[in-house]
């Protein structure tokens, strides 16, 4: 009961991040939930509970007697929700013993098995979904709820031996800034796990290499009746650029280890336009090739229209954590064991995205990602299995015990 009520409480907070903001966190409203979590962790009896100037909440569950010298492990989740859809006034609906059929979310919005076949897996589960007007916020408040509830359980069951455990909650993960100011030294864990996955059993220690590209285009507007050999239409150049990138390398045509160019925004007029991409690939060589292709396309268009017409800003965002996690195989093996003991079949798969853990791994804290039971993140079709969330909570408890064995 604690897990469900805690999750429902957390999703009532609007914590949407804003990629256009220059502040940190990007939105003040994230701090409201972070302050609440700080107070809650203090209430359940954790120690060294802090919230710093950037909003990071950290806390300690001390080791049980005799286990002070085993590795310190951490559990980390983010509180912000995606800018892709509103996270305000979330109205959760609960289905007990889901029958495996289509779900009417509300407002004539349907969650259909034909379109989301993984629903079949959740037949018999307790599901929590939206009313079709907002996202749910399981990404990543399911992870937050699982961590807090697991810490409360361990606090109430001192007979379960465990080492020192560190807890961390971060803002702004959804806009790629989640650990910009995170202090690995202050967190002081030997290894950690982000609770930020989806499908039951997911265990992820590979993620995309990631970059962002912004192309600013300066056109020349002339009356269309006298435009020949004079007009430079910035919109036309933006669409020409998009057409020069391989059409098969778009998210809707890729899966598994396949990377992509994803146009996430285009705006402008004849006079000026801007087009934005995210570039992703698991393979570092293919990642570099994709970035070079973007430069080649822009350089070609500069020669065609003028060097001053197009300006490309391309920045790396994060890298594949596999390089940093693989040297520590017990982090993965213990996660597999914890899942099996919780009645969960581990499924090792690459993340088609990134987590705070990918950056933390390169900051010196190996940090694979575990499932939470949330599905269809970032939109109105998001839902969570409370049944799977309970299993994820048990995986956390099992990991605490297994690392102390």
> In whole angstroms, how far apart are CA 213 and each of 114, 200, 234, 356?
35, 33, 17, 21
d(CA 353, CA 362): 16
- What is the Cα–Cα distance from 222 to 228, expressed in whole angstroms? 9
Give the separation between CA 186 and CA 59, rounded to whole angstroms: 11
For residue 311, the cross-strand partners are 216
User: What number of CA atoms fall less than 13 Å from residue 252's CA on the CB side?
Assistant: 3
The backbone torsions φ and ψ at residue 28, rounded to the nearest 5 degrees and listed phi first, read -65, -30
How many helical (H) and strand (E) elements, i.e. helices and strands, does the chain have? 10, 18
- Rg (alpha carbons) of the chain, rounded to whole number: 23
Distance CA 239, CA 276 (A): 12
From 14, 40, 80, 204, the catalytic residue: 80
- C-alpha to C-alpha distances, 220 to 139, 271, 302, 362, nearest whole angstrom: 44, 5, 14, 44
Which one, of 150, 169, 139, 167, lies nearest residue 34 by Cα? 169
DSSP H or E run through 281 = strand 272-281
d(CA 13, CA 280): 31
Select which of 40, 173, 196, 249 is catalytic: 173
Token pair 């690939």 is at which residue? 281
Cα torsion 152, 157, 158, 159: sign: negative
Count CB atoms within 10 A of the CB of residue 69: 9
- Report the alpha-carbon distance of residue 310 to residue 244 in Å, rounded: 15
Q: Which of 294, 292, 288 is nearest to 319 (CA)?
A: 288
- Is 80 annotated as catalytic? yes
Q: Helix or strand or coil: residue 359?
A: helix
Q: Which residues are catalytic?
A: 80, 173
């Amino acid at each position: 009961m604690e897990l469900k009520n805690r999750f429902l409480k957390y999703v009532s907070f609007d914590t949407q991040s804003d990629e256009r903001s220059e502040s940190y966190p990007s939105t003040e409203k994230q701090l409201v939930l972070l302050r609440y979590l700080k107070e809650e962790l203090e209430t359940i009896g954790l120690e060294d509970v802090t919230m710093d100037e950037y909003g990071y909440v950290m806390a300690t569950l001390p080791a049980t007697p005799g286990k002070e010298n085993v590795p310190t492990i951490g559990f980390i989740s983010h509180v912000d929700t995606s800018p892709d859809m509103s996270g305000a006034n979330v109205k959760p609906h609960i289905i007990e013993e889901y029958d495996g059929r289509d779900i009417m979310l509300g407002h004539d919005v349907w969650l259909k098995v034909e379109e989301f076949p993984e629903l079949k897996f959740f037949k018999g589960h307790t599901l929590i979904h939206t009313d079709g007007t907002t996202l749910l916020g399981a990404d990543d408040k399911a992870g937050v709820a699982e961590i807090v509830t697991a810490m409360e359980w361990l606090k109430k069951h001192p007979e379960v031996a465990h080492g020192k455990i560190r807890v961390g909650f971060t803002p702004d993960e959804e806009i790629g800034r989640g650990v910009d100011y995170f202090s690995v030294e202050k967190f002081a864990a030997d290894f950690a796990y982000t609770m930020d996955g989806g499908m039951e059993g997911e265990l992820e220690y590979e993620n995309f290499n990631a970059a962002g590209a912004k192309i600013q285009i300066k056109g020349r507007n002339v009356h269309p009746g006298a435009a020949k050999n004079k007009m430079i239409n910035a919109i036309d150049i933006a669409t020409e650029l998009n057409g020069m990138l391989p059409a098969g390398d778009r998210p809707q045509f890729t899966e598994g280890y396949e990377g992509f160019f994803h146009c996430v925004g285009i705006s402008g007029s004849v006079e000026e336009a801007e087009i934005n991409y995210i570039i992703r690939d698991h393979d570092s060589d293919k990642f570099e090739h994709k970035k070079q292709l973007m430069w080649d396309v822009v350089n070609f268009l500069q020669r065609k229209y003028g060097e001053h017409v197009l300006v490309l800003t391309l920045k790396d965002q994060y890298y594949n954590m596999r390089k940093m996690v693989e040297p520590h195989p017990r982090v993965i093996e213990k996660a597999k064991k914890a899942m099996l003991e919780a009645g969960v079949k581990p499924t090792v798969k690459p993340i088609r995205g990134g987590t705070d853990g990918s950056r933390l791994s390169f900051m010196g804290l190996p940090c694979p990602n575990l499932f939470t039971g949330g599905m269809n993140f970032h939109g109105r079709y998001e839902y969570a299995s409370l049944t799977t969330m309970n299993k994820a909570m048990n995986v956390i408890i099992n990991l605490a015990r297994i690392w102390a064995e």
